[in-house]
C-alpha cells in the first residue's frame, strides 16, 4: 500500500477513492467532522483510506489557507555555545508539547541578519517568535508587529515587547561576591586584582558590570574603571585582552569575572600559550555555565541562567492577548567549582543498553 516514489496523497485523491467530496475528507482529517455533522461511518472510511495511503496534510497549503503555519520560531545569536544550545533544546521540547513545530535559527548577533532572518520567518507565516539575545529587539518587534506575529524577548530585553531575562545584576553580584569570598582573609583580594573581561554595550553586560562594580565597592571599597575590559562577544578579542594584560603586568589578575562562556574561550586560548603556573592562584567567575569549564584546574565559579524557567515564563506571556510591555527577571543560580549539573539531555531516554 506504500506510495512508491509517487507524489504524496492529497485530499482530492482520497475524495475520489472514498466517493466523498474533498471538503468532507478535509473535515474528517482535520478533526472538525463532528461540527460538520459527518456520519461516523463516513469518517471511519476516510480515516482508513488515509492511513492506507499514508496521507499527511500539506502544511503549506493549510498554512496558506489559515495564514498560520504551526511553526514557532526561536531566534538565537549562535548555536555552538552551551547556554544557547541548551536553550534550543528546551525550546524544542516545550514547543512540541504544545503541538507546534519548533524552528531554531541563529543570526550571529548581526542586526542586519537578525532582521533578514525574521523577515524570512514571517514570510513562512510563523505563528510566534521567541527572540533570544537579539542585538536589536525593537526593530525585530516592528517587523513582527506589522505582520501581526506574537513575539517576546528573551535574554536581552526590548522596550516594545514583553521580555524575560536573567537577573543579570543579582547574578553578577552573587558571582562577584563568590569570587571575593573564595580568597581567605590571609591573602584577601585587592580591588585592582579583580577584573571583568568580555561583553559589550548591551543590557546584559551593562547590568553585569553594574553588579560587579557595586559589589567591588561594597566589599573591597574601590572600583576602578580600568578593571572593566569589555571585549565584545569574541574569543579572539578576549584572548588579546588577556595577552595585553599579561604583557603589561607579568601575570593575570587573581580574580577574573568573565562575562560569558564565549569570552571564557578567549581565556582558553590564552591558557594554551602559557604554562600551568600562570593560573596557579587565580579564581575565575564566569557568567554562564558549562559543565566542562566547571572542572578546570583552577576554581571556576559559574552562573547558570535558568533558561528553562525563562522559556516557561515566555510561553506563558506569549499566550496573553494584551501583552504588557515589561521585563520579567528570572533568578540565575550560582554554581560552585567542580559541579556537573543535569541538563535537558537528561530527560532524554536512552534505550538500547
Partner DNA sequence: CTTTTTTGCACAATCGATGGTGCAAATAAT
Partner DNA sequence: ATTATTTGCACCATCGATTGTGCAAAAAAG
Contact between 160 and its own copies by CB under 8 A: the answer reads no
Q: How far is the CB of 20 from DNA (least distance, A)?
A: 4
Say whether residue 37 binds its own copies (CB under 8 A).
no
Residue 120 contacts DNA per CB under 7 A: no
Site size for DNA (CB under 7 A)? 30
Q: How many residues bind its own copies (CB under 8 A)?
A: 87
What does 244 bind: its own copies, DNA, none (CB cut-off 5 to 8 Å by kind)? none
> Of these, 23, 32, 58, 331, which contacts its own copies (CB under 8 A)?
58
Q: Is 122 in the site for its own copies (CB under 8 A)?
A: yes
* Strand ordering across the sheet containing 194-197: 228-229, 194-197, 255-258, 283-287, 300-304, 333-335
Whether 254 and 188 have beta carbons less than 8 Å apart is answered as no
Gap between the Cα atoms of 54 and 333, Å rounded: 48
The answer to whether residue 220 forms part of the interface with DNA (CB under 7 A) is no
Stretch that binds its own copies, among 26-34, 185-193, 210-218, 269-277 (CB under 8 A): 269-277
Residue 42: contacted member of DNA, its own copies, none (CB under 5 to 8 Å, by partner type): DNA
Site map 209..248 versus its own copies, x via CB under 8 A: ---------------------xxxxxxxx-----------
Instruction: Provide the pairing of β-strand 300-304 with 333-335.
Output: antiparallel
In terms of CB distance, is 71 or 194 closer to DNA? 71
293 binds its own copies (CB under 8 A): yes
Site for DNA in 42-81 (CB under 7 A): 42, 55, 57-58, 61-62, 64-67
Grid cell in block for residue 268: 582558553
Q: Of the two residues 190 and 203, which places its CB atom closer to its own copies in the complex? A: 203
Contacting residue, 16, 59, 244, 325, with its own copies by CB under 8 A: 59
Interface residue with DNA among 3, 12, 112, 281 (CB under 7 A) is: 12
Q: Please identify which residue in 10, 22, 45, 102 interacts with its own copies, judged by CB under 8 A.
A: 102
**Is position 6 an interface residue for DNA (rule: CB under 7 A)?**
no
- The site string for its own copies over 1-20 (x = CB under 8 A, - otherwise) reads -xxxxxxx------------
Chain positions contacting DNA, by CB under 7 A: 7-8, 10-12, 19-24, 26-27, 29-30, 32, 36-39, 42, 55, 57-58, 61-62, 64-67
Amino acid at each position: 500500500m506504500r506510495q512508491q516514489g509517487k507524489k504524496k496523497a492529497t485530499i482530492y485523491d482520497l475524495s475520489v477513492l472514498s466517493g466523498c467530496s474533498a471538503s468532507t475528507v478535509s473535515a474528517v482529517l482535520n478533526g472538525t467532522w463532528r461540527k460538520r455533522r459527518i456520519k461516523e461511518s463516513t469518517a471511519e472510511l476516510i480515516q482508513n483510506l488515509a492511513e492506507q495511503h499514508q496521507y499527511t496534510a500539506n502544511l503549506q497549503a493549510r498554512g496558506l489557507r489559515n495564514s498560520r503555519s504551526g511553526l514557532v520560531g526561536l531566534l538565537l545569536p549562535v548555536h555552538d555555545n552551551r547556554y544557547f544550545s541548551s536553550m534550543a533544546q528546551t525550546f524544542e521540547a516545550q514547543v512540541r508539547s504544545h503541538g507546534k513545530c519548533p524552528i531554531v535559527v541563529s543570526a550571529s548577533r548581526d542586526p542586519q541578519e537578525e532582521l533578514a532572518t525574521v523577515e524570512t520567518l514571517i514570510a513562512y507565516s510563523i505563528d510566534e517568535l521567541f527572540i533570544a539575545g537579539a542585538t536589536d529587539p525593537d526593530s525585530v518587534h516592528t517587523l513582527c508587529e506589522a505582520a501581526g506575529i506574537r513575539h517576546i524577548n528573551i535574554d536581552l530585553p526590548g522596550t516594545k515587547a514583553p521580555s524575560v531575562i536573567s537577573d543579570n545584576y543579582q547574578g553578577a553580584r552573587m558571582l562577584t561576591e563568590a569570587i571575593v569570598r573564595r580568597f581567605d582573609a590571609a591573602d584577601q583580594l585587592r580591588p585592582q586584582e579583580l577584573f571583568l573581561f568580555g561583553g559589550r554595550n548591551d543590557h546584559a553586560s551593562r547590568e553585569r558590570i553594574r553588579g560587579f562594580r557595586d559589589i567591588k565597592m561594597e566589599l573591597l571599597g574601590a572600583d576602578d574603571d580600568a578593571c572593566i575590559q569589555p571585549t565584545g562577544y569574541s574569543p579572539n578579542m578576549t584572548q588579546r585582552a588577556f595577552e595585553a594584560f599579561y604583557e603589561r603586568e607579568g601575570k593575570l589578575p587573581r580574580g577574573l569575572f568573565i562575562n560569558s562562556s564565549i569570552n571564557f574561550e578567549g581565556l582558553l586560548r590564552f591558557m594554551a600559550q602559557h604554562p600551568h603556573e600562570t593560573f596557579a592562584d587565580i579564581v575565575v567567575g564566569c557568567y554562564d555555565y558549562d559543565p566542562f569549564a566547571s572542572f578546570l584546574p583552577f576554581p571556576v565559579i559559574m552562573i547558570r541562567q535558568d533558561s528553562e524557567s525563562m522559556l516557561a515564563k515566555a510561553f506563558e506571556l506569549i499566550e496573553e492577548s494584551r501583552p504588557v510591555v515589561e521585563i520579567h527577571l528570572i533568578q540565575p543560580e550560582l554554581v560552585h567549582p567542580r559541579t556537573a549539573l543535569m541538563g535537558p539531555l537528561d530527560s532524554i531516554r536512552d534505550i538500547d543498553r
